[in-house]
């Protein structure tokens, strides 16, 4: 049995990966299709009573994804590049990507949806799979499409729906708009990976929209796993109080640098990932 979307777990603990995979298999599904991680989730797992050296922290990240990779060898596992946003260049990200992609056979490199992140993606998408993270706008999605046209490997884009909801905006609109835009282009090389899922409604609507991938935190996954409910055909995503993010007619044939890729939540997200990572590293 399969769902209309690939199902990933979002977390930093291989025990959760194992449990979620087993729950799917027990219910007759083929198991987890993948895993996403991020610096905040990994920092939480590696947190100790003393600060780690940067080598120990990177080794800890590596060991964690190795364990995850052993649990779901047929799935893919997102590994994020990490660094101080004030100084991290596209070249640094490419060099981290080239190193981290060798950690496990089924890694995908997560790069931020910022200007240096997309510069790095434009280069690295020819060398390995990428997942562009911290996506909050359809225009960013247009830029990701254009920056990764010459890809040789999978390209994923992670709209963070929960963080838009937190600001009173309907985050799922971004998923719906991006899917419509990509589908209308006839080029589906960028796979929308619905992320920052905070509740069952997000999950059901993402399934209804046939988002190619959905990543789910273990807490929400466990709730869903009680029935593995799927949305009916006439499902309506009803979220009173959240303001609509309207669809925009954007052409996808421009150079990626011509799109407005700035979003405050991308900047604050990058800063928070670095803050959380720095809190465990001396
Ligand atoms: C996805 O890859 C991210 O790890 C994740 O979904 C972020 O979710 P949050 O907004 O709940 O932190």
Q: What pLDDT score was predicted for residue 48?
A: 84
pLDDT band at 171 (very low <50, low <70, confident <90, very high): very high
Mean per-residue pLDDT for 67-89? Answer: 97
Mutation probe of ligand 1 site: the residue of 7, 17, 162 with most atoms within 8 A of C-beta: 162
Q: What pLDDT score was predicted for residue 197?
A: 98
Place of tokens 């990240």: 61
Is residue 1 scored above 80 in pLDDT? no
Q: What pLDDT score was predicted for residue 281?
A: 95
Mean per-residue pLDDT for 128-134? Answer: 98
Q: Closest residue (by CA) to atom 8 of ligand 1?
A: 196
Q: What pLDDT score was predicted for residue 2?
A: 87
Q: In DSSP terms, which residues pair with 76 in a beta bridge? A: 34
Is residue 235 scored above 90 in pLDDT? yes
Q: Closest residue (by CA) to atom 9 of ligand 1?
A: 196
Mean per-residue pLDDT for 129-134? Answer: 98
Per DSSP, the residues of the chain read ---SSEEEEESS-HHHHHHHHHHHHHTTS----EEE--HHHHHHHH--SSPBPHHHHHHHHHHHHHHHHHH-TTSEEEEE----TTT--HHHHHHHHHHHTTTSTTEEEEEESSHHHHHHHHHHTTTS-EEEEEE--HHHHHHHHHHTTT-SS-EEEEEBHHHHHHTTB-HHHHHHHHHHHHHHHT---EEEEEBS--SHHHHHHHHHTT-SEEEEEHHHHHHHTTTT----TT-----TTPBP-------S-S-GGGS----HHHHHHHHHHHHHHHTTB-
pLDDT band at 132 (very low <50, low <70, confident <90, very high): very high
Please state, rounded to an integer, the average pLDDT across all residues of the chain.
Answer: 97
Mean per-residue pLDDT for 220-232? Answer: 98
Residues 233, 10: Cα–Cα separation, whole Å: 27
Closest ligand 1 atom to Cα of 38: 4
pLDDT band at 49 (very low <50, low <70, confident <90, very high): confident
Closest ligand 1 atom to Cα of 217: 6
pTM above 0.95, yes or no: yes
Mean per-residue pLDDT for 208-214? Answer: 98
Mean per-residue pLDDT for 71-98? Answer: 97
Q: Closest residue (by CA) to atom 6 of ligand 1?
A: 196
Nearest to 85 by CA among 279, 260, 272, 281: 272
Nearest-10 Cα torsion for 179, 182, 186, 191: -80
Is residue 110 annotated as part of the catalytic site, yes or no?
yes
For a pLDDT cut of 70, what percent of the chain falls above it? Answer: 100
Tokens in use for 60? 């800890």
Q: What pLDDT score was predicted for residue 24?
A: 98
Q: In DSSP terms, which residues pair with 214 in a beta bridge? A: 7, 194
Please report, for residues 123, 125, 155, 174, the alpha-carbon distance to residue 150 in angstroms, rounded to integers and kept in the order given: 9, 7, 11, 24
Burial degree of 97 (CB within 10 A; 0-12, 13-18, 19+): buried
Please report, for residues 1, 3, 23, 25, the alpha-carbon distance to residue 28 in angstroms, rounded to integers and kept in the order given: 6, 11, 9, 5
223 CA distance to ligand 1 middle (Å):
18
Mean per-residue pLDDT for 10-36? Answer: 98
Q: In DSSP terms, which residues pair with 132 in a beta bridge? A: 111, 157
Residues with CB under 6 A from ligand 1: 10, 36, 38, 133, 158, 160, 162-163, 195-196, 215
């Amino acid at each position: 049995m399969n769902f209309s979307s690939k199902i990933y777990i979002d977390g930093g603990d291989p025990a959760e990966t194992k449990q979620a995979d087993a729950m799917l298999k027990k219910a007759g599904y083929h198991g987890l299709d993948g895993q996403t991680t991020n610096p905040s989730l990994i920092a939480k797992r590696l947190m100790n009573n003393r600060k780690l050296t940067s080598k120990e922290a990177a080794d800890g990240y590596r060991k964690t994804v190795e364990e995850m990779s052993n649990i779901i060898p047929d799935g893919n596992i997102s590994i994020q590049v990490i660094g101080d946003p004030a100084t991290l260049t596209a070249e640094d990200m490419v060099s981290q990507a080239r190193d981290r992609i060798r950690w496990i056979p089924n890694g995908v490199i997560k790069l931020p949806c910022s200007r240096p992140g997309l510069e790095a993606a434009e280069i690295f998408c020819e060398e390995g799979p990428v997942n562009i993270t911290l996506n909050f706008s359809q225009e960013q999605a247009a830029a990701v499409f254009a920056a990764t046209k010459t890809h040789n490997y999978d390209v994923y884009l992670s709209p963070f729906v929960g963080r838009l909801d937190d600001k009173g905006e309907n985050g799922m609109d971004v998923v719906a708009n991006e899917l419509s835009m990509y589908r209308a282009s006839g080029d589906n090389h960028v796979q929308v990976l619905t992320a920052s899922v905070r509740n069952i409604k997000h999950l059901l609507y993402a399934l209804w929209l046939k988002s190619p991938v959905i990543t789910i935190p273990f807490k929400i996954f466990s709730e869903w796993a009680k029935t593995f409910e799927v949305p009916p055909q006439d499902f309506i995503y009803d979220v009173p109080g959240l303001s609509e993010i309207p669809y925009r007619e954007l052409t996808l044939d421009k150079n990626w640098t011509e799109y407005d890729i700035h979003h405050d939540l991308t900047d604050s997200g990058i800063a928070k990932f670095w803050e959380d990572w720095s809190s465990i590293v001396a």
